[in-house]
Structure 1
Amino acid sequence: MPGLISLDALGPKGTYRARNRVTVADVAGLPVADLGLVPRLFVSRTMTALHRAESLPAAERVAALARAARIFTEEVVGGLSYDAFRHTVARVSGVPLAVVREATASIAEAAERAEYMVRQPRPVGAVGDWRDPLTRDGSAVWTRRGNVFAVHAAGNHPGPHSLWLEALALGYRVAVRPSRREPFTPHRLISALRAAGFGDDQVVLLPTDHEAADGILQGADLGLVYGGDEVVRKYQGSTVLPQGPGRSKILVTADADWRDHLDTIADSVSHQGGVACINATTVLVDGDPAPLAAALAERLATLPSLPPEDEKAVLAVQPVESARAMERFLLAQAKGTTAHLGGDGVVDELSAGGAVLRPAVHELPRPDARQAGVELPFPCVWVGPWSPADGVAPLRESLVLTVFTEDEQLVDTLVEEPTISNVYLGDHPTYWIRPGVPHDGYLGEFLMRTKTVIRD
């Protein structure tokens, strides 16, 4: 269609214009881009080409990633300036523009600091190359578990595209299947990587339909997928690493006053529009949860409803139909809880098209209520009671747990709990992260292994 941004596959021999095309629309339903979907045969041949390809030497990979960061942020790529690209991502994904800016800056930082990032998960007893002098007396060497890495990317947020850059830095050839919801970020990033020196057969973009999608994972040595509980159950323990719901939580024990930490709690729920797995889904408090729920509802109710490309937007926007479906799901799930905010609905339709998903705050009757496991892609939080007698059970299966407590024995228990990935003590919001610290463990723990090398 004339006037649309053209997004084609980036295959092992360059750009490939597939005959099967789909339209990518913005939150108002207006066409923005024309995306080509490659067939299964093209996927198969591409994955074979990746296996046959040679990776750049380590130093060249690091230098190329740094160049790619500059191209990604400074140059016109695919006909779009950096500003136009970010505006398009906000308008199509519904993620607020300020959040898109922060996320894309994080992608560039991950590329610039690739050498530092890949060094963090390496065991202290291992070296990075068999030529290291330590191998003369015998040493562990940090080596890849495979050569080809596949990614089924998420479309709810640009940020996760910073993660798979680590695989490229480690010498994997990488195949990315973009989300139809937001294919712009991976298309721009891979275009920048190729312009920076990575070969066409070292990093590829493979938009596909569902039928051909599994071929990308099947053709790789290792893979990364994003999805819900069903995806986690399907791939757990396999050569594919699932990234599922975060179910991040906050706990306030009796020796802490939640009033002193309301800013952190509210920010953990609403930051980045509440779309991320590191936003707080559940808040548990030792005592009556009603006052905290009421104060949190009062705070979140003041957030404005604005189009995603507005400079002051802080809440996510979706097409009206999908927003209404999300609202119906929430109201059905919330039965048996006490609504402090959003009890009559969370959809606020915009005059320019699309609908803002406004915050919801519901009070739980007990800490193990089933709703505590319901995670939705907007500021939706369940506030419930907790006591030491409840123990760690209601806090399990958390990507992040922020804790306000003076009880060091409790902290010991939480840090040692295998199903809690990250523990933050004090006024550190659940979304806190920085380059070099693990998100859900280091990706390098999955991509790499140690092997002993001794030489004369």
Structure 2
Amino acid sequence: MTATRTAGGVYLDALGPRGAYRTRVPSAVTDVAGAEVARLSLVPPVYVTRAMAALRRAEPIPAAALDGLLAAAGDAFASGTIGGLGVREYEHLVSRTSGTPVTVVRASTRETARFVRQARSSAERGRPQGAVTGLRDPAVGEGRAVWARRGDVFAVNASGNHPGVHRLWLEALALGYRVAVRPSRREPFTPYRLVGALRQAGVRDDQLVLLPTDHQAADTVVRGADRAVVYGGDDVVARYAHDSRVLPQGPGRTKILITSDTDWRDHLDVIVGSIGDEGGTACVNATAVLVEGDPAPLAEAIAARLSALPSLPPQDERAVLPVCPLERANAIASHLGRVAAGARAWLGGDGIAADLGDGSAVLRPAVHQVGRADAVQLRTELPFPCVWVAPWSRADGVAPLRDTLVLSALTRDGALLDALLAEPTITNLYIGDHPTYWMAPGVPHDSYLSDFLMRSKAVIGAL
């Protein structure tokens, strides 16, 4: 597997069940300024169908080889040359195409390598205590639950907003699924590197494939799998809401709640970091802060911190904000202007697109204050540090905090915390001085992925 050099940059092949596959008419991968930096082979639906069939025929990775394989793959991803690309060139390409600051990409490289090495133990964390891993466990003879896959083939239709999205599917591979990854055409370098590192470490070509496609063929990838994860907006969530085989990963609408028994001034670093860390592009970045009392002083303080962030190209070592093509930045700014109508702009009211003069623009932070805890703006999530600050009262209750991937609760009210934990639509609850972007191997992101991939079967009898 080698990424061939071309006049336009790098040529990324599809990685099929029989090795690399190059199409005659590739798709251009451009950077944030519109310059072509790579060409990507897009495979047609018939190729996808054959690849998915090959995955279904293949055996899982042998359990005995898994730990050594994952360790080698993690090391290769972190520092090796994969497909002809060294780690620094890879990180530069990711930064230039996704617009993610290069320091964020580097941190993600280290974290992704850690997730690769711990994929097996992380997946095991989701196994019920009463279940064993296979028929050869002695306890099965007297009757025991056995943890078994719900299928054989897993697919992921990935997004390109952050390289960390590719950590999730590693657990499926560790659990014995054969995996098909449909990369984002915006940023295909991370899945290309990750699949390449795993293959280099010993995963067979027919156990893990990379299938770049257009949107039409993407449906073929999803339909050909027993289980699939699909990233997208509210439209994607609605589209797959009634398909039990698909786990949609939609907007996070992550929030922070601060009650009157807590002084927000003591936690301002965590609040601002939750909004702006990772460039504000992740689903775990806070997009709403609800405060018991007057929200204006907090909104003003957040705006003062975020306004000091520099506008720089993503490959600059000092960059901390996301960058995108100027045309897209202007469209996002126009959309924000419409959504924010009626809100008080503490930052970003006069525009959020900072033209870099090369066809790209920095997406600068925006801070708006709204008048109610149930203001419609709180459901708006945009791909940069954009936060809505709202008042909250005990009378508002839990309702404004629903539909939240991560809720950081700065409160000492035990009864309120019990209510927040009991609310089914609050996926994760962080109590106290913990940023919303905190994650670790073995700790669920949106429940355990194994809840979706595995089930417990009653088995009795010895082999």
* Deviations, residues 336-374 of structure 1 (Å, cap 9, x unaligned): 100000001101111344110000000001010000000
1:3 to partner: Cα distance: 4.5
1:53 corresponding residue in structure 2: 58
**Matched length:** 456
Are residues 1:123 and 2:128 paired?
Answer: yes
- Aligned position for 2:230: 225
Structure 1 residue runs of 5 or longer lacking an equivalent are none
Which position in structure 1 is the counterpart of 2:289? 283
Residues 169-196 of structure 1, C-alpha deviation per residue, up to 9 Å, x if partnerless?
A: 1110000000000000001111111111
Q: Which of 369, 379, 384 is 2:385 aligned to?
A: 379
- In structure 1, C-alpha distance between the alignment counterparts of 2:401 and 2:79, rounded to whole Å: 43
**CA deviation digits over 1:107-163, x for unaligned, max 9?**
111111122111100001111122111112111111110000011011000001111
Pairing partner for 2:363 from 354, 357, 361 = 357
Tell me the distance in 2 between the aligned counterparts of 1:59 and 1:338.
59
- 1:93 and 2:98 correspond: yes
Q: Find the partner of 2:170 among 162, 165, 171.
A: 165
**AA in 2 matched with 1:383:** V
Q: Which residue of 1 aligns with 2:3?
A: none
Paired with 1:302 and 1:342, the residues of 2 have a C-alpha distance of 12
Correspondence list, 1:202-241, <5 A: 202-237=207-242, 238-241=244-247
In structure 1, which of residues 105, 112, 119 is the aligned counterpart of residue 117 of structure 2?
112
CA distance in 2, matches of 1:281, 1:202: 38
2:413 corresponding residue in structure 1:
407
- How far apart are 1:20 and its partner, in Å? 2.9
Query: 2:205 is matched by which residue type in structure 1?
Result: D
Q: Post-superposition, which runs of at least 4 consecutive aligned residues in structure 1 deviate over 2 A? A: none
Q: Which residue of 2 aligns with 1:269?
A: 275
Preserved contact between residue 95 and residue 308 of structure 1 (Cα < 8 Å): yes
Distance across 1 between alignment mates of 2:53 and 2:407 = 42
Q: Does 1:245 align with 2:251?
A: yes
Partner SS for 2:299: helix
CA distance in 2, matches of 1:243, 1:152: 10
Q: Distance in 2 between matches of 1:335 and 1:321?
A: 22
Q: How high is the sequence identity, in percent, across the aligned residues?
A: 60
Distance 1:54 1:407 in 2: 51
Q: Which residue of 424, 447, 451 maps to 2:453? A: 447
**2:202 aligns with one of 184, 197, 203:** 197
- TM-score w.r.t. the length of structure 2 is 0.97
Is the partner of 1:273 in helix, strand or coil? helix
| Structure 2 letter corresponding to 1:93 | S
Separation in 1 of the partners of 2:387 and 2:328? 20
Contact 1:62/1:169 (8 A) holds in 2:
no
Rounded Cα–Cα distance in structure 1 between residues aligned with 2:289 and 2:113: 33
Looking at structure 2, the residues matched to 330 and 108 of structure 1 have their Cα atoms a distance apart, in angstroms, of: 36
| TM-score under structure 1 length normalisation | 0.98
Q: Cα deviations across residues 293-347 of structure 1 (Å, max 9, x unaligned)? A: 1111011100111111111111000011111111110011000100000001101
1:174 is aligned to 2:172: no
Partner residue, 2:28: 23
- 1:320-331 correspondence to structure 2 within 5 Å: 320-331=326-337
The alignment status of 1:135 with 2:132, answered yes or no, reads no
SS at match of 1:124: coil
Structure 1 residue 424: Cα displacement: 0.8
